[in-house]
Amino acid sequence: MSKLLDPSTESHIGITEGEGITMTWENLWVTVSDGKKTKPILEGLTGYAQPGRLLAIMGPSGCGKSTLLDALSGRLSPNIKHKGKILINGHKQELAYGISGYVTQDDALLSTLTAQETLYYSAQLQFSDSMPISEKKERADVTLREMGLQNAINTRVGGWGSKGLSGGQKRRLSICIEILTHPRLLFLDEPTSGLDSAASYYVMRRIANLVQKDGIQRTIVASIHQPSSEIFELFHHLCLLSSGKTVYFGPAFDANQFFASNGFPCPTLHNPSDHYLRIINKDFEQDAEEGFGSGITAEEAINILVKSYSLSQIKNKVNTEVANINQSDSGAVEKKRVHAAFLTQCLVLIRRSALNYFRDLSNYWLRLAVFIAIALSLGSIYYDIGFGAGSIQARGSLLTFFISLLSFMTLVGGFAPMLEEIKVFERERLNGHYGVTAFLTGNTFSAVPYMLIVTMVPGVISYYLCGLHKGLFHNGAEHLIYFVSVLFAIVMWVESLMLVVGSVSPNYVIGMFIAGGVQGIMILVCGFYRLPNDIPKPLWKYPLYYLSFQKYALQGYFKNEFEGLTFVIGHNMNISGREILRETWHVEMGHSKWLDLGILFVMIVVYRMLFLAITKSKEKLKPVFAAITARC
C-alpha cells in the first residue's frame, strides 16, 4: 500500500479487528509546481474522520476534493508537495493492506467478466490460502447481496460495444471489491459520478449503511459533487471546500445554521447542498446572493465564509477534537492481513486473463481472422513462388511485409485491451491486492496459447500456399516450425513493447504514437529497405540497427528460407542460397538462425523486465520524490 508518512515512527501497539480507525489531518498544505511557480491546491486544512461516521467532502469542480482524498490515502503524485500532519489513531504510519480501501472515479474492471466472477477472482487474490475456497465464494456472494447486486451476478461488466452492467451497478461492484476484506477505512472519490439521482441515492445509501456493519465501525470518507437532499441527509460530517480552503467543517446538520449566521440562509424547500455549492462557486460571473438583493459576488461570499469559519467556535471545536484524538493512545493499526501466496496469485491471474482473452472477440480472435485474411492474400499473390531469379526479391518482400504488417496489426488490435488490463492492474496494485511480478507472470503465460493460435494458423497457410523452402510436405517441417516461431516471437515482442509503453503513458493516442514510432524505426533499419552495409553508421547502424527486433527476425527468416536452396538466374546458371544471403541481403553468416531466434526471445525478456523495472521504480521513487519535494 502507499505510505501516508514516514513509517519509521510507527508504534507497535496494535488494535483489534473490530476497533475503528480515526484519521486526523492538521494544517495540511498541498502544492504543485510547474517548474517556474508553485500553486497551492489545499491551504491549511484541519479535520478528522471517525469510526461509524460518513464524512462527505463537497465543493465545486477544482476545489481540491480528490487531492484531499489522495493526500489522506497517500496517493499524491511525486511532483506534488504536501506539508502538515496526517495521523492514523494518533500515529504516523502506513495504511497496511486490508486496513483501507480506495474506490476511484473510474471503474477499472475487466469488461468480459460477470459481476460474480469479478468478485470471485478478487477474493482469491485478496484472501490468504488458509481460507477455504468455499468461504471465499461465500464472502463474495454476501458482499454482492449487501450492495444489491444479487440480480446481476451473471451479467458481464460490459464496455465499449457490449452491453453489461449499468453505471450504478459498476460503481457498486467497484465498492464490493474494496469492502471484500472488511476494511475499517474506506475512501471513495465521487461514487455518484455519472449516475442519475435514483442510482446515486441507492449507491450512497448502501455506502452509508457500511459505517456500522458486520460488527465493524468503518470510517468512510467520500468526495461528492452535487448530492440530492436525500443523499445529504445520509452524511454525518461535512467538509466544504472552495479553491482549496475550508469553508465549513463539522456536523452536516449544523451547516445551514453556519451559512444563515453569515447572511446566506438556505431558502425553504431548497436542497441544502445546491445552496451551499451555489454560494461558494466562483467559476461564473454572477451574484452569489442573486434573488436576495444584496449584490455580493461569489468571491466576496467565499471570503466572508472562510474568514468566519476560521474565527468560529466550530473551528475551535475541530482543533480541540483533533488534539484530543492525537493525544489519546488508541493504538497503531496492526498489519494483520495476509495476501494469497505468490504462486496462488499467479495462477489466479493466469486463469482470469485467459478467460478474459477467450471471451474478448475484439482481441485475439479478431486478430486471428485478420491474420488469416492476410495469409490468404499473401498466398494468392505469391502462390508457389518458385526458384527463379524473380523469386529472390519476391521472397525478401514477402517475408519483410509479413513481419511488418504482423507487428503493426498486433499493435492496432492489442493496445486497447492491454491498456484495460493495465488500468485494472494499477487499481489492484495500489490497493495492495498483488504486486507487479505476479501481474507480469499472469499476463505472460495466459496469453501464450492465444499467441500460438494467431501465429500458427496464418503461418501454416501462408507457408504452404507460397511454397516456401520446398513447402510443407517435402522435409520442410523444421523450416515451418522456425517460420511460426519467429511469428510467435514478433507478436510477443509487440505485446512486451505495449506493456512498456502502457506503463509510461496510459493514454491510448499517445501510446499508439510512441509504440508505432518505435516499430517504424525498427522496421526502417531492419536491413531490407536499406541494406545493412549501406546503413549510415552513426545512430542508424550503431546502435539502432543492432537494437532492432525486426533485424534479427528478418535475418533469421532469410537464413531459414535461402540456406539449402539453389536458384536459377539465367540459362543454365545457378546460384546458391548462401551466396544470395552474403551478396544480395548482406546477412551475417557467422551464426545460425537459431541464435537469431534466441536473441529475439532474450529481447522479449528484456522488454518485460523493463516494464517490471519501470513500474517498481515508480513505486520506490515516489517516497523519495516526496521527501525531496517536502524539503524544497
Q: Tell whether 368 is covered by a domain.
A: yes
Q: Residue 343 CB: number of other CB atoms within 10 A?
A: 11
Question: Does position 17 have pLDDT exceeding 50, yes or no?
Answer: no
The percent of residues above 70 in pLDDT, for the chain, comes to 89
Domain membership of residue 627 as a residue range: 354-631
Q: Is 309 helix (H, G, I), strand (E, B) or coil?
A: helix
- Buried b / exposed e over 481-492, threshold 16 CB at 10 Å, is ebbbbbbbbbbb
Q: Is 25 helix (H, G, I), strand (E, B) or coil?
A: strand
Name residue, grid cell 475512501: 187
Q: Tell whether 341 is covered by a domain.
A: no
Q: Tell whether 99 is covered by a domain.
A: no
Q: Tell whether 428 is covered by a domain.
A: yes
Q: Tell whether 247 is covered by a domain.
A: no
pLDDT attached to residue 628: 46
Q: Tell whether 225 is covered by a domain.
A: no
Judge whether 140 and 132 are in contact, CB under 8 Å: no
pLDDT attached to residue 293: 45
Question: Does position 15 have pLDDT exceeding 50, yes or no?
Answer: no
- Among 3-7, 264-268, 481-485, the range scoring the smallest mean pLDDT is 3-7
pLDDT attached to residue 330: 63
Q: Tell whether 589 is covered by a domain.
A: yes
- pLDDT, one tens digit per residue, over 264-317 is 999 888 899 999 998 998 876 554 445 444 567 888 899 999 999 999 999 999
CA pair distance 140, 178, nearest whole angstrom: 11
Strands (E), 34-155: 38-49, 53-58, 80-88, 100-103
Dihedral sign (CA 136, 615, 189, 352): negative
CA distances from 371 to 126, 363, 382, 462, 491 (A): 39, 12, 16, 10, 12
Domains held by the chain: number: 1
Residue spans of alpha helices (H) in 527-592: 544-547, 549-562, 577-583
Judge whether 263 and 280 are in contact, CB under 8 Å: no
- Among 321-335, 449-463, 522-536, the range scoring the smallest mean pLDDT is 321-335
Question: Does position 471 have pLDDT exceeding 50, yes or no?
Answer: no
Name residue, grid cell 451476478: 153
- pLDDT, one tens digit per residue, over 331-365 is 666 655 677 999 999 999 999 999 999 999 999 99
- pLDDT, one tens digit per residue, over 42-85 is 999 999 999 999 999 999 988 999 999 999 988 888 778 889 99
Q: Tell whether 19 is covered by a domain.
A: no
Report the mean per-residue pLDDT for the chain. Answer: 88
Residue spans of alpha helices (H) in 382-507: 389-430, 436-466, 477-504
How does residue 621 score in pLDDT terms, banded at 50, 70 and 90?
Answer: low
Peptide bond into 623 cis (omega under 30): no
Name residue, grid cell 471471451: 359
How does residue 199 score in pLDDT terms, banded at 50, 70 and 90?
Answer: confident
Question: Does position 494 have pLDDT exceeding 60, yes or no?
Answer: yes
CA pair distance 163, 168, nearest whole angstrom: 14
Q: Which residues contact 192 (CB under 8 A, 6 or more apart)?
A: 171, 199, 200, 203, 204, 224, 225, 227, 231
- Among 41-50, 191-200, 392-401, the range scoring the smallest mean pLDDT is 191-200
Own/partner pairs, 266-274, CB within 8 angstroms, 24+ separation? 271/228, 271/229, 271/232, 272/229, 272/232, 273/58, 273/226, 273/227, 273/228, 273/229, 273/231, 273/232, 274/226
Pick the closest to residue 139 from 166, 175, 177 (CA basis): 177
**For the packed helices 342-359 and 436-466, what is the interaxial angle rounded to 10 degrees?**
40
pLDDT attached to residue 470: 67
- Rounded to an integer, the average pLDDT of 597-602 is 98
- pLDDT, one tens digit per residue, over 562-587 is 998 999 987 778 999 999 999 999 99
pLDDT attached to residue 94: 73
